[in-house]
Chain A
Amino acid sequence: MIKNADVVIIGGGVQGNSIAYNLAKRGQKNIVILERNTCASGSSGRCAAGVRQQFGTEMNCILARESVRILEQLSEELDYDIELNQKGYLILAYTEKELAQFKKNVQLQQSLGIASKLITPEEAKEIVPLINIKDVLAATYCPTDGNANPLLTTFAYAEAARRLGVKLYRFTEAQKIESEHNQVTAVLTNQGRISTNTVVNAAGEYAKEVGEIAGVEIPVYSQRHQILVTEPIEPLWDPMLMSFSRNFYFQQLPNGTIVGGYGDPKNEIIGHNLRATWQFSKVMAKKMIQLVPALKNVHMVRQWAGSYIMSPDSQPILGEHPQLNGYYMSVGFSGHGYMLAPVSGKMLAQCILEQEIELPIEKLDIGRFERGELILEPSVV
């Protein structure tokens, strides 16, 4: 194990690997990733693969739009097929309140150059003839949304980072972060001590704990989200189908399987809980069949649970800690950390290297909660 590093990244998920790659690409040397298990063993390996730009805040819209631009050429850039599949997102409105929000959202999205539009239930049915449009008031559709493979994206970043000299230590846990005079000085691991002045917390579900080992409080928490996957079947439709008020999302992936889930924040106990429940798959099956009756005879083959890492306003916390120099965070992605990783990794790298940051991510600093400058995202599932 090496004794000194210029940057130590804690966490080998899609975030940590994107940050490492983006730093190395910009010339940073001597970067280390610590991963206590293997890459993509956390949320990045349990995610639903969705990529969308249809958000309700300017911040998320811009981040997602930029991420999609990066994703569109990422397979080439990293020399690894990440299976980007831009088949759109169809988001259904079932209530008047939701419809009013969607009108605002689409206006905002269009003003930012996102190709979304508000459509009628009949137009939605033209896009996906199999759906049951009972009670649907309207929908929004963006054809450049879609999905990509989160596992392969993580490994693609990891391998590209390695080619640029980044060292990955698997099965290596960060256990303490030392500092002197509010400046990070070292990371202690189960394999030894690494002196460094720069640490990045990209610990996903364990971001809060990786704050605690540095004496820093980070207002994020884990929330279980479950998901199920079916056997592969012939291609039935293209876009992700999603509803906020009815609380579901599901899509058919390029390999023919249908993957989907819903969240149950009101009833979830906060904490690390990765148990999958029978109750979930029953409810999810009902939701899927209600919208797409043709799925009745399709078999579920597997289900699992993962964690969203929620922040108080459902937007990530990006940047350096104001009281601890050299302690950077890329945490709290609140269920969007896969799709945002290409852009957040780039922005954080620019921030660490004190380069000009292309997007207004200074608003995503941890200080916003104390200042009361939350950027509440209305459109999350």
Chain B
Amino acid sequence: MDDNTIICRCEDVTWGEIRKQLDKGYTTLDEIKRITRAGMGPCQGKTCQRILLRAIARYLNKKVEDIPISTFRPPAKPIPLGTLAGEKDD
């Protein structure tokens, strides 16, 4: 994987940016997300979380299962504010 490979499309985060944070010692998914916004885009990591986890695991020489996944901020299904507020869809 080269530094220009895009890991998170929604937030336009490359492997190079993620590797830079791993090099600094940020080794958890949470830290990487907080700093780079990878996984925080409109799809809420549906597209990129697996790829991100695999990339972190490979860097750390660990198994994907051994990278802890955050439990907070459950992704909500995107829903229009109008629908939430009880207005009719249009």
> Do the two chains bind?
yes
- Residues of A whose CB lies within 8 Å of any CB of B are 38-41, 45-46, 151-152, 155, 159, 230-232, 255, 274, 276, 281-282, 285-286, 288-289, 295-304
- Contact B78 A300, beta carbon cutoff 8 Å: yes
19 residue pairs of the A-B complex, CB under 8 angstroms, read: A151-B34, A230-B81, A231-B42, A274-B72, A276-B74, A285-B84, A286-B85, A288-B85, A289-B82, A295-B81, A296-B81, A296-B87, A296-B90, A298-B80, A299-B42, A299-B80, A299-B81, A300-B79, A302-B73
Distance (Å) between the CB of A301 and the closest chain B CB?
5
Complex: how many Å from CA A302 to CA B26?
Answer: 24
Enumerate chain B residues within 8 angstroms of A282, measured Cβ to Cβ.
84-86
Complex: how many Å from CA A358 to CA B31?
Answer: 34
The 9 A-B pairs with the shortest beta carbon distances in the complex, nearest first, are: A296-B82, A285-B84, A299-B78, A285-B85, A285-B81, A286-B85, A151-B34, A304-B73, A231-B42
When each residue 11-42 of chain B gets 1 if its CB lies under 8 Å from chain A and 0 otherwise, what string results?
00000000000001010101100110100111
Distance (Å) between the CB of B37 and the closest chain A CB?
8
Does residue B76 face the partner (Cβ distance < 8 Å to A)?
Answer: yes
Enumerate chain A residues within 8 angstroms of B84, measured Cβ to Cβ.
281-282, 285-286, 300
Complex: how many Å from CA A295 to CA B81?
Answer: 7
- Contact B82 A155, beta carbon cutoff 8 Å: no
- Contact A301 B31, beta carbon cutoff 8 Å: no
Enumerate chain B residues within 8 angstroms of A297, measured Cβ to Cβ.
80-82, 90
Contact (A159, B24) CB under 8 Å given A39-B31, A232-B42: yes
Complex: how many Å from CA A298 to CA B42?
Answer: 12
Complex: how many Å from CA A298 to CA B35?
Answer: 25
Which of chain B's residues has its CB closest to A274's CB?
B72
- Residues of B whose CB lies within 8 Å of any CB of A are 24, 26, 28, 30-31, 34-35, 37, 40-42, 44, 72-76, 78-82, 84-87, 90
- Contact A41 B35, beta carbon cutoff 8 Å: no
Enumerate chain B residues within 8 angstroms of A152, measured Cβ to Cβ.
35
Enumerate chain A residues within 8 angstroms of B30, measured Cβ to Cβ.
38, 41
Enumerate chain B residues within 8 angstroms of A274, measured Cβ to Cβ.
72
Complex: how many Å from CA A285 to CA B84?
Answer: 6
Distance (Å) between the CB of B9 and the closest chain A CB?
13
- Contact B81 A155, beta carbon cutoff 8 Å: no
Complex: how many Å from CA A350 to CA B26?
Answer: 30
Distance (Å) between the CB of A230 and the closest chain B CB?
7
Contact (A302, B80) CB under 8 Å given A159-B24, A289-B87: no
Besides the contacts A232-B42, A296-B90, A300-B78, what 14 more A-B pairs have beta carbons closer than 8 Å?
A40-B34, A45-B34, A151-B34, A152-B35, A282-B84, A282-B85, A296-B80, A296-B81, A296-B85, A300-B80, A300-B81, A302-B40, A302-B76, A304-B73
- Contact B86 A299, beta carbon cutoff 8 Å: no
- Contact A299 B79, beta carbon cutoff 8 Å: yes
Complex: how many Å from CA A41 to CA B80?
Answer: 29
Enumerate chain A residues within 8 angstroms of B24, measured Cβ to Cβ.
159
Which of chain A's residues has its CB closest to B81's CB?
A285
- Contact B85 A301, beta carbon cutoff 8 Å: no
Complex: how many Å from CA A380 to CA B74?
Answer: 28
Distance (Å) between the CB of B8 and the closest chain A CB?
13
Enumerate chain B residues within 8 angstroms of A41, measured Cβ to Cβ.
30
Distance (Å) between the CB of B28 and the closest chain A CB?
6
Which of chain A's residues has its CB closest to B11's CB?
A255
- Contact A301 B81, beta carbon cutoff 8 Å: no
Enumerate chain B residues within 8 angstroms of A151, measured Cβ to Cβ.
34-35
Enumerate chain B residues within 8 angstroms of A45, measured Cβ to Cβ.
34
Complex: how many Å from CA A97 to CA B26?
Answer: 49
- Contact A38 B82, beta carbon cutoff 8 Å: no
Which of chain B's residues has its CB closest to A295's CB?
B81
